A and B are shown apart, each in its own frame.
Chain A
Amino acid sequence: MTTVFTQLRRKVPVLVLLIGALELPFLLSSQQESLLTRALIFAMMAASLDLAYGQAGLYSLGHAALAGVGGYTAWLLMVRYGHESFWYLIVAAALASALASLVFALVSLRARGLYFILVTLALGQMVSNLAQQWDFLKTAQAEAVTGIYIPSLGLGEDWHSGTLYQFVLVLTALGLFTIQRIIGSPLGLAFRGSRDNEVRMEALGYDVWRYRVVAIVLSGTLSGVCGALFAFQSGLISPTNIGVATSGLLVLMAIIGGSGTRYGAFIGGILVTLLQFYANQWSMERAPMIIGGLFIVTALLLRFRPKVAGALRSLTRGRVSHAVA
């Protein structure tokens, strides 16, 4: 009884929030809806990164490329081959990025520590450079691939920025729910175990390598879906969107909100995306300085003022991250 009650209590505010967020279009201009949609998509991307990054301790600097595989797949099938069904495109994007992340995992997991980070960076740049230089992955008139629109759900829906926002919000909630389920499951426990004490996990009979592959593939597949959503929302996707700069931003999102916590990466994603936009409103010339400053302050804060960071994080931290196998 008590557990059910606690669980319910935990879910009520989330539900209230979700419903509240669903009603936001009544308050916002369509530009703000569009910006929030973008924020949700990036937040979801950061949350999917954190599944491998925070939970399984696999520090990746190539995550945006996996989202990019999803986005470019959606573009390819839609613009080049004329497929118009949302479901078809999103499943294709998920499958393509699952495959790509499997390759990522098989290659990068042969290295460890610092070397792992560098392999992910190399693989990510490889994908981004492929998109930049290979004619097959370019539309005739631009460096970015363009001509993408929001595909049909087959339900006679009327796409505009408000409905797209609501739709993405629902998808995001589903995605977050999925991630929560994974984190809370024995699988999630094994992820954290392989992060915190690999030797012990091996001794307990876990195949750590296999869990890491699963973590990367799950994380990559989810972000591939986000990549496709990004392409639908923006109408385009460019090599920069999938390169190391974006991967670095995703890492910032995950860490600033509290990597390895329940909603930390997600909230970080929303905040950083909004800040990125509004920093540029404050100062067109010096916006990079604001973003760069945020990177540096976050790095120092995490280390230098553990108490400050701790206090900030305790706001968002779920109990789950403390549990170690």
Chain B
Amino acid sequence: MQARKLMAAVAATTLTMSFAACATRDDDAANDNEIVIGLVAPTSGFAADYGPEAAQGVELALDKFGSEAGGEKVSVVKVNEDVLDPSQTLERVKKLVESDGADVVVGPIFGSSQQAVSAYLDQQGVPMFTLLGGDVALAGGDGSGFIWPGADKKTAAPLGTYAAEELGYKKIATLGPDYAYGQNAIAGVADAFKSAGGEVSQQQWVPLGTTDMLQYATKLDQDVDALAMWLVPNDAAAFVREYRNLGIKVPLLMFQGVFDPTYQSIGDELSGEIGLNEYNHLLDYPENAAFTKAYDAKYHGIPNQTVAFAYTVTDIFLTGADETDGDTSVKALREELDGKVFDTVIGPASYDADGVAASNRTVVKAIKDGSRYEWEPVKTYENVGH
């Protein structure tokens, strides 16, 4: 009796499992006459804005190519990147590659996810085009990564150079989140500032999971000429609020500025501050004008960095795949893209032989233009990232 019940239960489970297995088995074989782009970005949880935005960028790139490259049809499969649990992202990416036949991955957004999937993608020979930075160790000979828009440790460097050379600052403090991307970005600013003769007198790191920003404002050494900082938009907004409430006058140097829509709600608190943009919709390049126009026609509004860079890396990938006649292997793409200069939404940019991009950075200033707050381009630094 007992045995039969047990068997029934377990058999039912197995059946369910094999059913689930069968459901995905049909489309197992990757279609060789089609290029499948796998987009890996969050669609639920606190960073769920990235997924839909990146999807818009990829769609716009596909529109540009008429969904065809190297004589093959191009399609997109989207995967939800779990921001908190990279191991789940890994399982989903395995399905993306093996069942959905993805030939390339655009994303993931977060460093932990990139670390989680890169070994697997490398082993499968699937290139990984990051759109918002990444560790250079995931590119080169040990990984299948193509890192855009530049190495994390270099991407923010012009902010330090500008502070020392153009603004004449002698001493700065820094503030950044205590995890890899934040540490690298801040290190880039600090190193550049020091090599231009400046001094970094105080470095504050905000532990993961911190929500109260008051103490980082009160503890700031106010003898410095400026505070160089990078925080995610909501934390930056919280910090700036405390900063202004306390009446601190030390100028800010904000890597990436603050993104919309957060920027629009705190814009007047930042008036006149200096930032460093990777992307900015005001950048005066033909490709950017065409992109912002196409975006407005399809989605109505102003594209942000996530949309722009998802568009850009998909564009570059498709251009590469077109040249290689649809060969999307890491090796073919590395060779094809190596040193080739593309006109992108942020000006001329290229990948090196390791797959790490170099591109322009723009120093910007916070202003109000009509009813919108903007980051107005001030000075361009070229070929940043290697």
Contacts and interface: CB of A to CB of B under 8 A. Distances in A.
Are any A and B Cβ atoms less than 8 Å apart in their complex?
A: yes
Interface of A: 9-10, 12-14, 17, 20-21, 24, 27-32, 34-36, 38, 129, 132-133, 139-144, 146, 149, 230, 234-238, 240-241, 245, 262-263, 267, 270-271, 274, 276-278, 280-281, 284-288, 314-316, 318-319
B78 A284 contact: yes
Nearest to B135: A141
B99 interface: yes
Contact of A36 (B17, B51, B97, B135): B17
Nearest to A237: B87
B44 A141 contact: no
Contacts of B97: 31
Interface stretch (B20-28, B233-241, B302-310): B20-28
B215 to A, nearest CB: 15
B209 A271 contact: no
Nearest to A246: B85
9 contacts: A31-B91, A35-B95, A129-B209, A132-B209, A133-B178, A141-B137, A238-B85, A267-B10, A316-B9
A242 B329 CA distance: 36
Contact of B9 (A29, A267, A288): A267
A95 to B, nearest CB: 24
A315 B8 contact: yes
B86 interface: yes
A14 B6 contact: yes
B116 A234 contact: yes
Contacts of B92: 277, 280
Contacts of B25: 28-29, 32
Nearest to A234: B87
Nearest to B12: A315
The secondary-structure label for the interface of chain A is helix
A235 B86 CA distance: 10
B115 interface: yes
Interface string B108-146: 000110111001100000000000000101000000000
Interface string B162-204: 0000000000000000111000000000000000000000000
Contact of A288 (B24, B44, B115, B135): B44
Contacts of A277: 88, 91-92
Given A10-B6, A31-B98, A285 B48 contact: yes
A41 to B, nearest CB: 10
A20 B16 contact: no
A28 B14 CA distance: 13
A28 B21 contact: yes
B17 A30 contact: no
B279 to A, nearest CB: 23
Given A140-B180, A142-B111, A318 B10 contact: no
A10 B80 contact: no
The secondary-structure label for the interface of chain B is helix
B269 to A, nearest CB: 29
Nearest to A278: B20
Contacts of A271: 13, 16
Nearest to A16: B7
Given A235-B119, A285-B48, A13 B6 contact: yes
A27 B17 CA distance: 12
Contact of B7 (A13, A32, A278): A13
Given A234-B116, A241-B87, A267-B13, A141 B207 contact: no
Given A144-B116, A146-B116, A314 B5 contact: yes
B18 A27 contact: yes
A143 B9 contact: no
- For B21, B48, B119, B178, the residue with the greatest tally of chain A CB atoms inside 10 Å of its CB is B21
A17 B44 contact: no
B90 A31 contact: no
Contacts of A14: 6, 10
- For B9, B45, B51, B180, the residue with the greatest tally of chain A CB atoms inside 10 Å of its CB is B9
B2 A234 contact: no
Contacts of B90: 234-236
B297 interface: no
Given A13-B10, A21-B14, 18 more contacts: A10-B2, A17-B10, A27-B18, A31-B99, A132-B208, A139-B115, A142-B112, A143-B208, A146-B112, A146-B116, A235-B90, A241-B85, A271-B16, A280-B88, A287-B80, A315-B12, A316-B5, A318-B6
A24 B78 CA distance: 28
B115 A146 contact: yes
B98 A30 contact: yes
B184 to A, nearest CB: 8
Nearest to B136: A141
A29 B86 CA distance: 21
A13 B3 contact: yes
Nearest to B84: A240
- For A24, A235, A315, the residue with the greatest tally of chain B CB atoms inside 10 Å of its CB is A235
B386 interface: no
A10 B3 contact: yes
Contacts of B91: 31, 34-35, 38, 277
A141 B16 contact: no
A319 B3 CA distance: 11
B258 to A, nearest CB: 22
